[in-house]
Amino acid sequence: MIEVPDFRWRQALITAIAPVTARVKSFRLRTEIADAYRPGQHVDVRLTAEDGYRAQRSYSIASAPDGSGTIELMIEGLEGGEVSGFFHEIAEVGDAIELRGPIGGAFSWGPADGGPLLLVGGGSGVVPLLAMLRHRGAVAPEIPALLLYSARTRGDAIALDEIEARAGTEPGLSLIFTATRSGGRRIDAATVAEALTTLGHPTRVFICGATPFVGTAATLLVEAGVAPGLIRTERFGG
Ligand SMILES: Cc1cc2nc3c(=O)[nH]c(=O)nc-3n(C[C@H](O)[C@H](O)[C@H](O)COP(=O)(O)OP(=O)(O)OC[C@H]3O[C@@H](n4cnc5c(N)ncnc54)[C@H](O)[C@@H]3O)c2cc1C
């Protein structure tokens, strides 16, 4: 069955704001779509100024469907960023924003899709992969999974404590973390080989991050023998 995306704009209420890293904040939003999405999907957010000027951006859902009636977004504040700047500097608990979705059925995972599941994230590109890990941990922790995660520094890494705790307690979940600016290396052929040796041959691969990161990771995986047809990518821009 082909799922048709719901493109209606809906009001969503900000119910909580919390820091995640020095550059990233978490926003809890109360919305009707809270339990009607697949981990990996994103929403579009639309802001309208008093003079009618509109700006629209996409944000991945970080939370797994949890019956709370809310979703979590994790937004990195970019220098001069129109929409991320609004979220970081102006948005407050109790504000209403417009969103639509969920969007992006191809870049989503559920337990019926199985594994081994290989997730490759760069920077804030880990957000939709975090939703998949949270869902897997809640409903199918036995499915083998590995997250290959690259961030500038440990302090810049989103939810690293949570992911490390999951990798320590959930059977079959492995983490390879590289901090590119503190002596670690970028994702390269050796890191990809280590991931494939640890996980075994993946049947699902999701790569997300800035456009150059996604291109590099996809090329390395194909060169390491992963069939291109298994690989799904999401590019955040940048
Ligand atoms: C499917 C999808 C899901 C996304 N999910 C997330 C998410 O979960 N969290 C998140 O923080 N962002 C996410 N993004 C990126 C987000 O949509 C915006 O592009 C980002 O917030 C910048 O918007 P802005 O209005 O703040 O900046 P703009 O005003 O559009 O741009 C400001 C400056 O930042 C540069 N820039 C724009 N986007 C990026 C980027 N992604 N990285 C680095 N520099 C950039 C621009 O070239 C410009 O110089 C996602 C994008 C897509 C397509």
Element (H, E) at 150: strand 145-151
Domain co-membership, 22 together with 90 = yes
The per-residue pLDDT for 140 is 95
Give the residue from 68, 103, 138 where a domain finishes.
103
Residue 186 pLDDT class (50, 70, 90 cuts): confident
238 alpha carbon to ligand 1 midpoint, in Å? 7
- 69-121: per-residue pLDDT in tens? 999 999 999 999 999 999 999 999 999 999 999 999 899 999 999 999 999 99
If you take atom 39 of ligand 1, which residue's CA is the nearest one?
Answer: 238
**Which domain covers residue 90, as residue numbers?**
10-103
Closest CA to 209 of 128, 122, 120, 119: 122
Domain co-membership, 86 together with 130 = no
Q: Is 59's pLDDT higher than 90?
A: yes
> Would you call 58 helix, strand, or coil by DSSP?
strand
> Would you call 25 helix, strand, or coil by DSSP?
strand
Q: What is the pLDDT averaged over residues 58-65?
A: 97
Residue 184 pLDDT class (50, 70, 90 cuts): low
Give the residue from 63, 87, 103 where a domain finishes.
103
Distance CA 24, CA 52 (A): 28
Domain co-membership, 65 together with 121 = no
Q: Is 236's pLDDT higher than 80?
A: yes
Q: Is 1's pLDDT higher than 60?
A: no
Instruction: Give me the CATH number covering residue 162.
Output: 3.40.50.80
Give the residue from 81, 103, 125 where a domain finishes.
103
If you take atom 18 of ligand 1, which residue's CA is the nearest one?
Answer: 57
100 alpha carbon to ligand 1 midpoint, in Å? 17
- 129-139: per-residue pLDDT in tens? 999 999 999 99
Q: Is 105 in the pocket of ligand 1 (CB under 6 A)?
A: no
Q: Which residues pair with 205 in a beta bridge?
A: 118, 231
Element (H, E) at 199: helix 189-199
Number of domains, the chain: 2
Long-range residue pairs from 3-10, CB within 8 A, at least 24 positions apart, any chain: 3/105, 5/101, 5/102, 5/103, 5/105, 6/33, 6/100, 6/101, 6/102, 7/100, 8/100, 9/46, 9/98, 9/99, 9/100, 10/98, 10/99, 10/100
The per-residue pLDDT for 194 is 96
Structural domain includes residue 83? yes
Domain co-membership, 97 together with 174 = no
